[in-house]
């Protein structure tokens, strides 16, 4: 089985796992889908080093690993509520509304290869931490691709190429590190007032 075929399988198993957990939380007699979750976790661990994958395959893997991390965190909370009962008003809301509540009431950051996303919206900000753009070409490339994709999606013109973008990130990183005396800079691609914005801030 090729890497792409295994990634397709991971995507299928993730979708199945989400459906089975929704069934489980809506049916007291059901057992949690441990067998499906085991398969998902096994595939995620198998490709965790990313050594044999191309950039596009790693990008796709990152998205699925982050998706699982977000849902897994919510499932654990719902499982605890199911076992221990409601302790707070928001617990009842969490139990009733199900998995989709993660996008409405939670903001989580999950790191994979130094890349993070938060989970408070469908169009999640794409975030990268950078300390030396010259040595972190892969991160810069992923940030450039995310920025270009977001602009294309919103109908904005994509200006500049990867090399000019990398030079900009290198210069900006050095300026922020010097100004704030920090080791790393956090870059994020976000939607603001209907426009795509690239933001940079010092990381303490």
Residue-wise pLDDT tens digits, 49-68? 777 788 888 888 888 888 88
Give the closest residue to 13 by CA, choosing from 74, 70, 56, 64: 64
- Which two three-digit tokens encode residue 124? 């999640």
**pLDDT tens per residue, range 99-153:** 333 333 333 333 333 333 343 434 467 888 888 878 888 888 888 888 888 887 7
Predicted model pTM: 0.44
> Phi/psi class of residue 117: alpha, beta or left (left: φ > 0; alpha: ψ in -120 to 50)?
beta
pLDDT of residue 12: 92
More confident residue, 121 or 74: 74
pLDDT digit string (tens) for 180-189? 888 888 888 8
Q: At what angle do helices 55-84 and 34-46 cross, to 10 degrees?
A: 150
Residue 82 confidence (pLDDT):
67
Dihedral sign computed on CA atoms, order 75, 76, 80, 81: negative
């Amino acid at each position: 089985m090729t890497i792409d075929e295994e990634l397709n399988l991971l995507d299928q198993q993730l979708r199945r796992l989400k459906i089975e957990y929704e069934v489980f939380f809506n049916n007291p007699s059901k057992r949690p889908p441990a067998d499906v979750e085991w398969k998902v976790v096994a595939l995620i661990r198998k490709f965790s080093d990313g050594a044999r994958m191309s950039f596009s395959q790693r990008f796709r893997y990152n998205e699925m690993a982050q998706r699982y991390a977000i849902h897994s965190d919510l499932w654990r909370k719902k499982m605890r509520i199911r076992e221990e009962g409601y302790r707070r008003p928001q617990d009842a809301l969490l139990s009733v509304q199900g998995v989709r509540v993660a996008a409405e009431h939670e903001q989580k950051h999950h790191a994979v290869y130094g890349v993070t996303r938060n989970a408070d919206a469908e169009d999640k900000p794409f975030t990268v931490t950078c300390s030396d753009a010259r040595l972190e070409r892969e991160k810069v490339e992923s940030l450039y691709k995310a920025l270009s994709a977001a602009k294309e999606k919103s109908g904005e013109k994509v200006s500049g190429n990867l090399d000019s973008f990398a030079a900009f990130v290198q210069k900006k990183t050095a300026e922020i590190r010097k100004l704030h005396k920090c080791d790393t800079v956090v870059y994020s691609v976000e939607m603001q007032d209907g426009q795509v914005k690239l933001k940079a801030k010092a990381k303490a």
